[in-house]
Amino acid sequence: MSDEITAGPDMEQFVPAQDVVYEIDLESSIISWSRGARELYGWKEADALGKRAYELFKTEFHLKMYDFIAETVKNYIWTGELSQFKRDGTEIVVSSHAILHRDDGGRPIGIIFVNTDITQLRKTTEALKRSEETFSVTINSIGDGVLATDMRGCITILNPVARELTGWTQEDAFGKPVEKIFKLINHNSRKPVIIPIMETLVKGTVGGLANNTVLISKDGSERDIADSCAPIKNRKGRVIGAVLVFRDVTERMRKDMALEKTRLELAATRISEDAAREYAESPIDTIREPLIALDQDLRVVSVSRSFYEFFKVKPEDTVGRLIYSPGSKQWNIPGLREFLEKILNEQTSFDNYEIEYDFKGVGRRIMLLNARQIQMAAGKERIILLAIEDITQRRKAEHILTKFNRTLRAISNTNQALIHEENEKAYLNNVCRIIVRDCGMKMAWVAFAAAGGKQNLLPVAQAGYGKGYLKWDSIKNVEHPAERAIKYGKTVICGDLGVEPGFAPWREEALKHSYVSMIALPLKSKNSTFGALVICSETIESYPDEEVKLLEKLAYDMSYGITLIRVRNEKTAVAHEVNKIAAFPKLDPNPISEIDSAGKIHYANPSFRRIFTGTVTDALSHPWFEGIGAIFRRLEHGRKKIIKRDIKVNGRYYMQTMVYMPADGTIRTYGIDITKKMNAGNEIRKLYRQMEVKVQQRTTEMLASRHLADIGTLAATVAHELRNPLGVINLASYNIRKNVRDSNVLKHLTNIDRKVAESGQIINNLLVYSRMKIPQFELSNVHGIITESMDNVSKQFGSKKIKLKGMIGPVKNTDIWSDPMQLKEVLTNILTNAYQAMDGKRGTITVKACLINGKRIRISVNDTGIGIKKEDMSNMFKPFFTRKIKGTGLGLAICRDIINMHNGTIDIVSKPGKGSTFTVTLPLRSIRA
Query: Which parts of this chain interact with other proteins (CB under 8 A)?
Result: 716-717, 719-732, 734-735, 738, 756-757, 760, 767, 770-771
**557 touches 413 (CB < 8 A):** no
Comparison of 417 and 708: residue with beta carbon closer to other proteins = 708
Least spacing, CB of residue 765 vs other proteins, in Å: 14
Comparison of 203 and 694: residue with beta carbon closer to other proteins = 694
Q: Is 390 exposed, middle or buried (0-12, 13-18, 19+ CB in 10 A)?
A: middle
Comparison of 92 and 756: residue with beta carbon closer to other proteins = 756
**182 touches 195 (CB < 8 A):** yes
Comparison of 258 and 757: residue with beta carbon closer to other proteins = 757
Least spacing, CB of residue 737 vs other proteins, in Å: 10
**915 touches 864 (CB < 8 A):** yes
**591 touches 605 (CB < 8 A):** yes
Comparison of 114 and 772: residue with beta carbon closer to other proteins = 772
Comparison of 666 and 770: residue with beta carbon closer to other proteins = 770
CB within 8 Å of 490: residues ≥ 6 apart: 484, 522
Least spacing, CB of residue 713 vs other proteins, in Å: 9
Bridge partners of 918, per DSSP, are: 861, 908
In this structure, what are the phi and psi dihedrals at residue 76, rounded to the nearest 5 degrees? 75, -25
Least spacing, CB of residue 702 vs other proteins, in Å: 15
Closest of 224, 219, 792 to residue 555, by C-alpha: 219
Distance CA 4, CA 839 (A): 72
DSSP 8-state assignment for residue 190: -
**80 touches 103 (CB < 8 A):** no
In this structure, what are the phi and psi dihedrals at residue 561, rounded to the nearest 5 degrees? -60, -45
Provide, for the chain, the percentages of residues in helix, strand and coil under a 3-state DSSP scheme, each rounded to the nearest 5: 45, 25, 30
Residue 250's alpha-carbon distances to 140, 144, 212, 214, in angstroms, are: 21, 13, 10, 9
Least spacing, CB of residue 823 vs other proteins, in Å: 20
What is the rounded (10 degree) CA torsion for 26, 27, 31, 33? 90
Residue 526 has a CB neighbour count (10 Å cut-off) of 7
What is the rounded (10 degree) CA torsion for 446, 451, 455, 456? 60
Comparison of 376 and 728: residue with beta carbon closer to other proteins = 728
**370 touches 351 (CB < 8 A):** yes
DSSP 8-state assignment for residue 796: H
Comparison of 4 and 721: residue with beta carbon closer to other proteins = 721
Residue 743's alpha-carbon distances to 736, 739, 753, 754, in angstroms, are: 12, 12, 15, 16
Distance CA 882, CA 876 (A): 8
Comparison of 233 and 771: residue with beta carbon closer to other proteins = 771
Comparison of 579 and 764: residue with beta carbon closer to other proteins = 764
Least spacing, CB of residue 775 vs other proteins, in Å: 14
Distance CA 67, CA 238 (A): 51
Least spacing, CB of residue 701 vs other proteins, in Å: 12
Least spacing, CB of residue 770 vs other proteins, in Å: 7
Comparison of 137 and 731: residue with beta carbon closer to other proteins = 731
Residue 485's alpha-carbon distances to 456, 492, 524, 530, in angstroms, are: 12, 6, 10, 10
Least spacing, CB of residue 764 vs other proteins, in Å: 9
Closest of 559, 491, 550, 568 to residue 526, by C-alpha: 559
Distance CA 387, CA 382 (A): 16
Least spacing, CB of residue 719 vs other proteins, in Å: 7
Comparison of 716 and 894: residue with beta carbon closer to other proteins = 716
Least spacing, CB of residue 698 vs other proteins, in Å: 16
CB within 8 Å of 743: residues ≥ 6 apart: none
Distance CA 517, CA 403 (A): 14
Least spacing, CB of residue 693 vs other proteins, in Å: 18
**153 touches 198 (CB < 8 A):** yes
DSSP 8-state assignment for residue 489: S
Beta strand residue intervals within 128-253, DSSP E = 145-149, 155-158, 183-186, 207-208, 213-216, 222-233, 239-248
Amino acid at 411: I
Length of the chain: 929
Least spacing, CB of residue 606 vs other proteins, in Å: 55
Comparison of 192 and 725: residue with beta carbon closer to other proteins = 725
Least spacing, CB of residue 687 vs other proteins, in Å: 22
- Kindly state the helix (H) or strand (E) to which residue 32 belongs, with its residue range: strand 30-33
Least spacing, CB of residue 749 vs other proteins, in Å: 13
Q: Is 46 exposed, middle or buried (0-12, 13-18, 19+ CB in 10 A)?
A: exposed
In this structure, what are the phi and psi dihedrals at residue 644, rounded to the nearest 5 degrees? -120, 145
Least spacing, CB of residue 766 vs other proteins, in Å: 11
Comparison of 185 and 722: residue with beta carbon closer to other proteins = 722
Comparison of 391 and 752: residue with beta carbon closer to other proteins = 752
Amino acid at 123: K
DSSP 8-state assignment for residue 107: -
Least spacing, CB of residue 882 vs other proteins, in Å: 23
Least spacing, CB of residue 884 vs other proteins, in Å: 24
Return the ∠ at Cα 521 (arms to 520 and 523), rounded to 5°: 135
Comparison of 273 and 758: residue with beta carbon closer to other proteins = 758
What is the rounded (10 degree) CA torsion for 482, 487, 489, 495? -40
